[in-house]
Amino acid sequence: MSTISMQSGTRTWRNWAGTVTARPAREAIPASADEVADAVRRAAEDGLRVKTVGTGHSFTAVAATDGLLIRPDLLTGIRRIDREAMTVTVASGTPLRRLNQALAREGLSLANMGDIMAQTVAGAVSTGTHGTGRDSGSLAAQIRGLELVTADGSLLTCDAETRPEVFAAARIGLGALGVITAVTLAVEPLFLLTAREEPMSFGRVVAEFEELHAENEHFEFYWFPHTDNCNTKRNNRSAGPLISPGALLGWIDDELLSNGLFQVANSVGRAVPAAIPPIARFASRALSARTYTDIPYKVFTSPRRVRFVEMEYALPREACTAALREVRAMIERSPLKISFPVEVRTAPADDITLSTASGRDSAYVAVHLYRGTPYRAYFTAVERIMTAHGGRPHWGKLHTRDAEYLAAAYPRFGEFTALRDRLDPERLFGNDHLRRVLGD
């Protein structure tokens, strides 16, 4: 069996942002679904709870455990491509970067994705990772089939026809229903996207938000607190040709401004908060308009080297602009100094039980702060606004909501917890975080 077992206390696990640490009693690195099943059965026999961790990109403790920690490092690679069904089946631990590169070599692409490629496939879908889209939803909404090991050590497969009640829930399962070992995703022939990035005033973006959403396949924007400045991005399919932003311009925008100088600016802002508003005014004016065309994953994603903490809420799309105005007014009347832009994206309604877009067209409002900066006052104030508008917190990002709130926010919440009772009655895959958000 390709596993590694370790004694308690010999290795501490930390997530990417440094907000969560855990000290598992045992670790396993299985190389197949059968080895996952064996590890799960052994853990159950030894009275250990089980969690799987990918790259640790979630800001919450959703993957933390003091029992068995499964690392999917060897569960990687494409199992098969079905060009008739236009699907790809991929092992759960495959990083999104490797999946996208492999698909591009095959002349294929996902329809949509988020802006980070560091996550594993299973980690990204299990927490509801999404990009922005008028018609195309989250990564989980592109799933056509799942394979997972359940609490009794059996291998379960599901899709829209086979065990549809499991399929409805497990696509965003928070690791509460089992260990995902493979995911089948819809793909399509490789296409080109033209990205148009353009500065715009806060007032104009808010006034034209619905129009900008309707006119573009993928629209998002960033507002820089303490300024009236936004940076907008419109991605639409293109017949080509491929147009690079230019090596120098791309490096200036993606590396120097978005990572290098941004890192310096945040370090200065953390030490001297009063410097943040003038830095924000400079930074928001430094990004220039640009247009470029490339294959999808190169347009959707961007490097993120500055570490941060994040909270994000999904709102009914019609509530987005009102909530944003309230966030701006709150910041302006408070002593808060906010160094990170506020990010706004959209998604169409989907049919996934615990999707943040379940049953409603949604807009996402994400707030960030530089790692190491006190964040509770800001996040609490924003969360108060989001919840007043019926917001649903992103499952992988910081929030304070509990099962009582979430049961009211999700009409199908009881459907999920009933399935969990059936698949994992002893809570083998439970932890303290899941107890808070899903209840006992």
Q: pLDDT (tens digit, 9 = 90+) per residue, 168-177?
A: 999 999 999 9
> Residue 98: its pLDDT value, please?
97
207-243 tens-digit pLDDT: 999 999 999 999 999 999 999 999 999 999 999 899 9
Q: What digits encode the pLDDT tens for the residues 92-118?
A: 999 999 999 999 999 999 999 999 999
Question: Burial code of 250-287, b = ≥16 C-beta within 10 A, e = fewer?
Answer: eebbeeebbbebbeebbeebbeebeebbebbeebbeeb
DSSP result, 166-184: HHHHHTT-TTSS-EEEEEE
Distance CA 440, CA 429 (A): 12
For the chain, percent of residues with pLDDT exceeding 70: 91
Taking only the tens place, the pLDDT of each residue in 291-314 is 999 999 999 998 777 888 999 999
Which pLDDT score is estimated for 8? 46
Please, what's the b/e burial string for 373-409 (b: 16 or more CB within 10 A of its CB; e: otherwise)?
bebeebbebbbebbbebebbbbbbbbbebebebbeeb
Q: Which residues of the chain have pLDDT under 70?
A: 1-10, 246-262, 264-266, 268, 282, 284, 286
Query: What does the DSSP assignment read for 346-393?
Result: EE--B--TT-TTBTS-EEEEEEEEETTS--HHHHHHHHHHHHHTT-EE
Q: What is the pLDDT of residue 276?
A: 76
Mean pLDDT of all residues in the chain? 92
**pLDDT value at position 270?**
74
Q: Judge whether 139 and 130 are in contact, CB under 8 Å.
A: yes
Q: Which residues pair with 316 in a beta bridge?
A: 362
Q: Determine phi and psi for 321, rounding to 5 degrees.
A: -65, -35
